[in-house]
Amino acid sequence: MRPAQWTKNLFVLVALPFSGQWSAVDGLSSLGTCAAFCLLSSCVYLINDLADRASDRLHPTKRFRPIASGELSVGLAIAAALVLLLASAAIIALIGYWLIHTANQSFVLERDEIPGYVAARLLAFWSASYFMLNLAYSLRLKQYAIMDVLIIATCFVLRAMAGAAAIAVIISPWLVVCTFTLCLFIALAKRRSEIAMLGDAAQSTRRANGFYTLVNIEHMLAVSAGLAIVTYTLYCLAQRTIARHSANLVWTIPLVIYGMFRYYCLALSADSQDVAKLLSRDKVMWLVVFLWMLAVVVVIRWGGSPLFKGILQ
């Protein structure tokens, strides 16, 4: 089930702070959707390990996974995946029921809100799309270079889209692009770490790795990092963003640039371990993320106050 990987599902919560809707009900809806995606991602991990059990036995560390090592039987893994899928679907259905019967029932909706019945359908659609795309990735598509990292990044976007539907708001297109480019960078960094660690044996564990080299993947890392910074900058400068949160969101851009550059340096140094493990031990990155989140909350909550209003005008 890999509960250590559940932190990836925090992307479900991305839309919540930027929407400006911080009610307890919206918070519970977002957390419930995040929990559903934790169960759904664990279901996908089980299916992935079932499909990869033969190749995982050739990997120096993946061969110790429960299914590849024989510690967990195939039948039990299938049963567990089915239970997790049904549990996740039940949570999504409950949140959808709440959206249909209680969310946005007035005829005049607030800016960027959508009717509850539309939000419920979108939540089910994005959740199902996430599962189906992951299923296709696990069974076949991860064998194709470049497509593999694009799918990983798209799955993060689907998390964010589901999170927006859970609170019945329209997510900004720029925020979608920001999520995609950032997660593309993260996926490429992980792929580079795997190739650097395994060397010539990388292709035997994943066919797509035969296409990548340290040189070309580092070029792709640089491009994706630049795209992430540019798209976030454009999001901060977009008229819709300024209208909702004031122009002061641009003050968070230096933190994003610093964080991206530091992540990039860590990715290039991760020759023997996963970048995610390096980041979990990097206190500076945790500080940068905390400061960025604090700055975003301050700007969205008080950006229109007399203290901040007009700073950039």
Q: Each residue of 126-166: pLDDT tens digit?
A: 999 999 999 999 888 888 889 999 999 999 999 999 999 99
Q: Are residues 166 and 183 in the same domain?
A: no
Task: Report yes or no on 158 lying in a domain.
Answer: yes
Q: Are residues 154 and 212 in the same domain?
A: no
pLDDT average, residue stretch 192-215: 76
Q: Are residues 21 and 130 in the same domain?
A: yes
Name the nearest CA neighbour of 291 among 264, 261, 267, 258: 258
Q: Are residues 196 and 97 in the same domain?
A: no
Count of domains observed in the chain: 2
Whether the per-residue pLDDT at 242 is higher than 50: the answer is yes
Q: Are residues 207 and 228 in the same domain?
A: yes
Model pTM score: 0.85
Query: Which of 172-181, 206-215, 231-240, 299-308 shows the lowest per-residue confidence on average (mean pLDDT)?
Result: 299-308
- Structural domain ending residue among the three candidates 152, 171, 190: 171
Residue range 86-121, pLDDT digits in tens: 999 999 999 999 998 876 554 334 446 788 888 999
Q: Are residues 21 and 85 in the same domain?
A: yes
Q: Are residues 79 and 178 in the same domain?
A: no
Predicted pLDDT at 25: 78
Predicted pLDDT at 34: 96
pLDDT average, residue stretch 40-44: 95
Q: Quick one: pLDDT band at residue 174, thresholds 50, 70, 90?
A: confident
Task: Report yes or no on 141 lying in a domain.
Answer: yes
Q: Are residues 117 and 255 in the same domain?
A: no
Q: Are residues 244 and 115 in the same domain?
A: no
State which residues form the domain around 155: 1-171
Task: Report yes or no on 62 lying in a domain.
Answer: yes
Task: Report yes or no on 118 lying in a domain.
Answer: yes
Q: Quick one: pLDDT band at residue 230, thresholds 50, 70, 90?
A: very high
Coil, helix or strand for 307?
A: coil
Task: Report yes or no on 309 lying in a domain.
Answer: no
Q: Are residues 12 and 33 in the same domain?
A: yes
